[in-house]
Amino acid sequence: MNRTAVLKIAATALVAGTTMIGANPSIKQFGFAFASDETDAVASAADVAAAAGQALKARDFDAAIVEAERAVGMSPREAAYRALLGHAYLQGGRLISAETAFGDTLALDPANGRATLSLALVQVALGKRDLALETLRNAQAPIADADRGLALALAGEMRAAFEVLEPAARSEGTSAKTRQNLALAYAMAGNWGRARAVAAQDVSPEELNQRIAGWVRFTQPENSWDQVSTLLGIAPIEDAGQPTRLALAPIAVNEAYAAAPEPVTAAEPEPIKVAVSDADGTLRQITFAPRQEIVQALPVALVRADRASLKRAVASVPAVRVSQDGRYVVQIGAFSSAIRAEAAWSRSVGRFGELAHYRPVGDTFQLNGASVHRVALGGFETRSDAERVCGRVKANGGNCFVRTYGNGAPAQWVQRAVARIASR
């Protein structure tokens, strides 16, 4: 997608950085305020944070990152500095570091709605759609319907996205942004008629055609980060992660007890429920992949089909050409472990019975020392056949895309999945 199209979509449709998470945050946006008797160290950290904010405003992201890291190092338990660092990382394209910084922000300030939204978007970009949905579900602060709905759509939860966006778009005094986010969500679900009808309420016929053309490209991402980076106007780069010296340390035991209302009976504080990387959050958890690494949440409303309904479904499905040598696949997910990939395939077959009649494809490749496990339906001889199946998945509230079969190592769980299908 060319840069003009990127900026047009980001600025008009939808969730330009200034409306969702603040592409150019000033110091005021992060609410820096300190008592008049603050220490020299805190005052110095505030000055450094202000310099980081100015660098962000000037779009000097490298300088912003350096200054924001300094501020966090000076005052590591100040949530506003962690949030500032997260935005600096995000605007600089360092997605892995941004995920850590926003997670730390929420550990210190769970009610930070902007950090919650930002974390969810970064997790989508990293291919962690399941974690992004968990982040949105566990939000402890309100997020505007226009932003929350589109974030749900980007995370593959189309039904939930429409449940948020459709009432918001119909409400009195709704904004053009809300309507355009709804239109884009329709486009992402493959409902181009509704997408055009809703988008037409705010743009001219000439602009409408250009916007729809841009959305066609937008709905065919090659990488998990493509859609988020397009909307926010960022350029993801290789990222080794946030420096370990900035890791958020746990609260000391005596500090936790001192803060408790009843010191005699106080227990260790319960961990704040913040959606971050699972397990230890190291690079092995990353699903940041070079092509098509989008994790699609499957439609939760779909139920397991019994054998009779499954037969009816098979009879109603137009035949598509499938073979062992078919070069096209329909990707439905990418995960950080083979166990998760196999479990996702089993869930998808249970929730969307038609998938049981296609050959599962799983492959694995290494990225920065981390294994990425892709899950797809395989063996389609033509792209149009694969797109027909993907279209039916989207029509039932799921998300997917078509790609050619990769060169990764075949996953061992596929043999077990094939055996289970053959036994039915």
Given a contact cutoff of 8 angstroms between Cβ atoms, the answer to whether 385 and 366 are in contact is: no
pLDDT score for 56: 95
The residue among 232, 250, 277 that closes a domain is 232
Q: Which of 139-143, 184-188, 287-291 has the highest mean pLDDT?
A: 184-188
Strands 370-380 and 328-335: antiparallel
Longest dimension (CA), the chain: 76
**Segments forming the whole domain that contains residue 161:** 3-232
363, containing H or E segment = strand 359-367
Q: Which amino acid is at 122?
A: V
| Least confident piece of the model among 145-149, 184-188, 281-285, 406-410 | 281-285
Tell me: pLDDT of 297 over 60: no
**C-alpha dihedral (224, 230, 231, 234), degrees to nearest 10:** 100
Q: pLDDT tens digits, residue range 243-261?
A: 999 998 875 544 443 444 4
Q: Classify residue 255: in a domain, yes or no.
A: no
Three-state secondary structure call for residue 370: strand
- Are residues 156 and 57 part of one domain? yes
**321 and 173 together in one domain:** no
Domains held by the chain: number: 2
Task: For residues 226 and 112, state if they share a domain.
Answer: yes
Confidence of residue 325 (pLDDT cuts 50, 70, 90): low
317 and 391 inside one domain: yes
Assess whether 182 and 85 both reside in one domain.
yes
Q: Which residue has the tokens 């008629």?
A: 193
Report which DSSP code applies to 251: P
CA–CA separation, 167 and 164 (whole Å): 6
Q: Is the same domain home to 211 and 312? A: no
pLDDT digits (tens, 9 = 90+) for 375-413: 888 878 888 888 888 888 777 766 677 877 765 556 667
The secondary structure of 139-192 as a DSSP string is -SS---HHHHHHHHHHTT-HHHHHHHHHHHHHSTT--HHHHHHHHHHHHHTT-H
Identify the CA nearest to 375 among candidates 309, 289, 301: 289
Residue 239 counted as domain residue? no
pLDDT exceeds 60 at position 302: no
Of 318, 293, 219, 254, nearest to 1 by C-alpha is 219
Any domain includes 74: yes
**CATH value at residue 224:** 1.25.40.10
Place of tokens 């056949």: 385
**Coil, strand or helix: which one is 54?**
helix
Looking at the structure, tell me whether residues 219 and 350 fall in a common domain. Answer: no
The predicted structure's pLDDT at residue 422:
53
| Statement to judge: residues 32 and 163 lie in one domain | yes
For residues 146 and 354, give the distance between their C-alpha atoms in angstroms, rounded to a whole number.
33
Same domain, 216 and 68: yes
Highest mean pLDDT among 9-23, 40-54, 98-112: 98-112
Task: In whole angstroms, give the CA distance from residue 417 to residue 341.
Answer: 11
Helical packing angle, 79-91 and 95-108, nearest 10°: 160
364 class by beta-carbon count within 10 Å (0-12 exposed, 13-18 middle, 19+ buried):
middle
Q: What's the CA angle centered on 124, arms 388 and 418, to 5 degrees?
A: 45
Q: Where are the beta strands (DSSP E) in 269-405?
A: 328-335, 359-367, 370-380, 401-404
